[in-house]
Amino acid sequence: MAARVQPLTKRPASKRSVWSALASDYNKVSKLHLHQLFAGDPQRGERMAVEAVGLYLDYSKNRVTDETLRLLLRLADESGLRERIDAMFSGEKINITEKRAVLHVALRAPRDASILVDGKNVVPEVHSVLDKMADFSNRVRIGAWKGHTGKQIRNVINIGIGGSDLGPVMAYEALKHYSERAMNFRFVSNIDGTDFAEAVRGLDPAETLFIISSKTFTTLETMTNARTARSWSLAGLGNDETSVAKHFVAVSTNAAEVAKFGIDTANMFVFWDWVGGRYSMDSAIGLSTMVAIGPENFRSMLNGFHQMDEHFRTAPFEANLPVLMGLLGVWYNDFFGAQTAAVLPYEQYLKRFPAYLQQLTMESNGKHVTLSGKEVTRDTGPIYWGEPGTNGQHSFYQLIHQGTRLIPCDFIAFAKPLNPLQRHHDLLLANVFAQTEALAFGKTPEQVKAEGTPDWLVPHRVFEGNRPSNTILAEQLTPETLGKLVALYEHSVFTQGVVWNIDSFDQWGVELGKVLAQRIISELESPAEPILNHDSSTNTLVRRYRKLKEQQ
């Protein structure tokens, strides 16, 4: 079924005019230094900041003028962002290549909300799954759900990959402070056997519960790990098949495959095809998160997501956090030619946040054709990367400060620490503020000379500055704040996808490798020498691997 939202080919003329206006603006703004922009406007740091739903975004240290912002907002308007937001929230099939609605926002809608997909309100079903998850999580947490031998479950292992892993791992790490410390939570994703072997090391199968998380329940990595888990569990439980019911639950959209695998569908938590894998950490895919932090904290995370959803849906674009961040990203990506963007959380618990964002941003916006299948005329999604501060400062920040590339950075910090130890937090926050200041304003040759630096050393010690950043400051990392933060990036990715006129919700780019791997598996495993019809490089690698393997 065709989406009601028309591909933006309907609006090429006006869109082109704003792009060319932005290109002229870039010619002016790229010659300006942030220190001039700040000197010319003493209120800039207060003016170019927005606070919404408890997140404060300071975007003043970006290489933009009021005119740039005006044009970027016009770009959003002319790209039809308002209509596309409405289309997403009302359940239209905006994922046009998969003919699916995109309704992660329904996962966090309040119980009394109504969101229709094909004429059916999906919110009651969302809450019924949440209730089932809460009941299960409580039973596991208090020890009412026992293992096959009657022992309490102490270890929960989530097996999944991509969106069925990165969200759960990131959320567990981010919210570890709120987690049940008497239990262990581990995550297996890689098909590399080491991942599984290390995850179960030292664990007692009688105390171990596996959550097999897979939207499709056909993903090679997950199914391979799930079968290995089944063998490991059965081997430790007297090979009694009835133990599976106590040690395996599934999270999926595919009941038939779950049953085929041997998990009772009574122990299955469902979600729906209108939830993309990378947008699913707040669906049943978050079951391990809920067991770890408890249903109340999970609901408070959903509430945080919902607050940001409502902000995105209703706030005027000039005061809309995801819209502003998304547009600034477009500005650097398409006008400054920035190839990457760094996300730098100054919060150790967010150590997996950049990895999570990599799938969210790059699987969503790494696209080369528009909604109508034409080659894009602008660069799309940048490469996202990052590490928590201050570790990154002693590693790659050198390049951000003095290298030849422009890397827009998002700094994320919290006013109140979860582990207040002596002066640690003030020192941490001093580093955040110092980094954004140094990046923006740098240090001139005159300043370096005035410090008594010998002439030959001066160029090495100069910081040209003018390196842009956003700072996101919140009160404290709580489940609610995490929900807001994730939704902020989800909607910022959406904003960019609308501007680029691409489908941010499909992921055809991961298919080819999967298909080719299937073909190669039999060539690696066949006892007889296979006839190979690949290119000469792949053929040689296959032969070499087979030979090395035989020598073991």
The reply on whether position 389 binds ligand F6P by CB under 6 A is no
Burial class (CB in 10 A: 0-12, 13-18, 19+), 311: buried
Separation CA 406–CA 331 (nearest Å): 12
End-to-end CA distance of the chain: 54
Residue least distant from ligand F6P (Cβ): 277
- Could you give the 3-state DSSP secondary structure of residue 311? helix
The reply on whether position 286 binds ligand F6P by CB under 6 A is no
- 221-240 binders of ligand F6P (CB under 6 A): 222
From 46, 514, 525, 549, the catalytic residue: 514
Q: How far is the CB of 272 from ligand F6P (least distance, A)?
A: 13
The reply to whether 61 belongs to the active site is: no
Q: How far is the CB of 164 from ligand F6P (least distance, A)?
A: 4
Separation CA 101–CA 258 (nearest Å): 24
Query: Residue 340: which residues within 8 A CB-CB, separation 6 or more?
Result: 382, 383, 384, 385, 405, 407
Q: Which stretch binds ligand F6P (CB under 6 A): 63-71, 158-166, 383-391, 529-537?
A: 158-166
Residue 294 · residue 286 · CB < 8 Å: no
Q: Which stretch binds ligand F6P (CB under 6 A): 130-138, 211-219, 238-246, 298-306?
A: 211-219
Note the helical H segments in 453-551.
458-461, 479-500, 511-525, 536-550
How many C-beta atoms surround the C-beta of residue 434 within 10 A?
11
The reply on whether position 214 binds ligand F6P by CB under 6 A is yes
From 31, 375, 394, 451, the catalytic residue: 394
Q: Which stretch binds ligand F6P (CB under 6 A): 25-33, 213-221, 431-439, 498-506?
A: 213-221
The reply on whether position 277 binds ligand F6P by CB under 6 A is yes
The reply to whether 394 belongs to the active site is: yes
Q: How far is the CB of 165 from ligand F6P (least distance, A)?
A: 8
- DSSP one-letter code for 215: S
The reply on whether position 164 binds ligand F6P by CB under 6 A is yes
Q: How many chain residues interact with ligand F6P (CB under 6 A)?
A: 14
The reply on whether position 163 binds ligand F6P by CB under 6 A is yes
The residue among 100 and 154 lying less far from ligand F6P, judged by its C-beta, is 100
Residue 232 · residue 200 · CB < 8 Å: yes
Concatenate the DSSP letters of all residues of 118-157 into one string: TTEE-HHHHHHHHHHHHHHHHHHHHT-SB-TTSPBP-EEE
Q: How far is the CB of 363 from ligand F6P (least distance, A)?
A: 6
The reply on whether position 104 binds ligand F6P by CB under 6 A is no
Separation CA 196–CA 185 (nearest Å): 13
Q: How far lies 322's CA from each of 72, 188, 384, 540, in Å? A: 13, 32, 16, 48
Name the residue among 485, 386, 491, 493 with its Cα closest to residue 57.
Answer: 485
Six-digit token string for 41: 């406007």
Which amino acid is located at 248 in the chain?
F
- 345-374 binders of ligand F6P (CB under 6 A): 363
Six-digit token string for 422: 């002596």
The reply on whether position 161 binds ligand F6P by CB under 6 A is yes
The residue among 287 and 409 lying less far from ligand F6P, judged by its C-beta, is 287
The residue among 501 and 507 lying less far from ligand F6P, judged by its C-beta, is 507
The reply to whether 104 belongs to the active site is: no
Tokens 């003329």 -> residue: 13
Q: Which stretch binds ligand F6P (CB under 6 A): 29-37, 159-167, 200-208, 416-424?
A: 159-167
The residue among 81 and 157 lying less far from ligand F6P, judged by its C-beta, is 157
Q: How far is the CB of 267 from ligand F6P (least distance, A)?
A: 18
Q: Which stretch binds ligand F6P (CB under 6 A): 208-216, 255-263, 301-309, 460-468?
A: 208-216
The reply on whether position 215 binds ligand F6P by CB under 6 A is yes
The reply on whether position 219 binds ligand F6P by CB under 6 A is yes
The residue among 222 and 435 lying less far from ligand F6P, judged by its C-beta, is 222
The residue among 120 and 227 lying less far from ligand F6P, judged by its C-beta, is 227
The residue among 26 and 217 lying less far from ligand F6P, judged by its C-beta, is 217
The reply on whether position 507 binds ligand F6P by CB under 6 A is yes
Contacts of 262-270 spanning 24+ positions with Cβ under 8 A: 262/230, 263/212, 269/129, 269/132, 269/133, 269/136, 270/129
Tokens 């003493």 -> residue: 42
Q: How far is the CB of 517 from ligand F6P (least distance, A)?
A: 12
From 173, 363, 387, 523, the catalytic residue: 363
Task: Please select the residue that binds ligand F6P; options are 141, 247, 278, 352, rule is CB under 6 A.
Answer: 278
Helices 321-334 and 295-314 pack at an angle, to 10 degrees, of 70
Sign of CA dihedral 172, 173, 174, 175: positive
The reply on whether position 15 binds ligand F6P by CB under 6 A is no
Separation CA 254–CA 252 (nearest Å): 5
Q: What does the CA dihedral 494, 497, 503, 504 come to, rounded to 10 degrees?
A: -50
The reply on whether position 108 binds ligand F6P by CB under 6 A is no
Q: Which stretch binds ligand F6P (CB under 6 A): 161-169, 185-193, 325-333, 538-546?
A: 161-169
The residue among 508 and 545 lying less far from ligand F6P, judged by its C-beta, is 508
DSSP-derived pairing of the beta strands 469-474 and 55-58: antiparallel
The residue among 140 and 161 lying less far from ligand F6P, judged by its C-beta, is 161
Q: Which stretch binds ligand F6P (CB under 6 A): 126-134, 156-164, 347-355, 426-434?
A: 156-164
Name the residue among 192, 225, 232, 195 with its Cα closest to residue 211.
Answer: 225
- Please report, as ranges, the residues that interact with ligand F6P according to CB under 6 A: 161-164, 214-216, 219, 222, 277-278, 363, 507, 510
Question: Which residues participate in catalysis according to the annotation?
Answer: 363, 394, 514
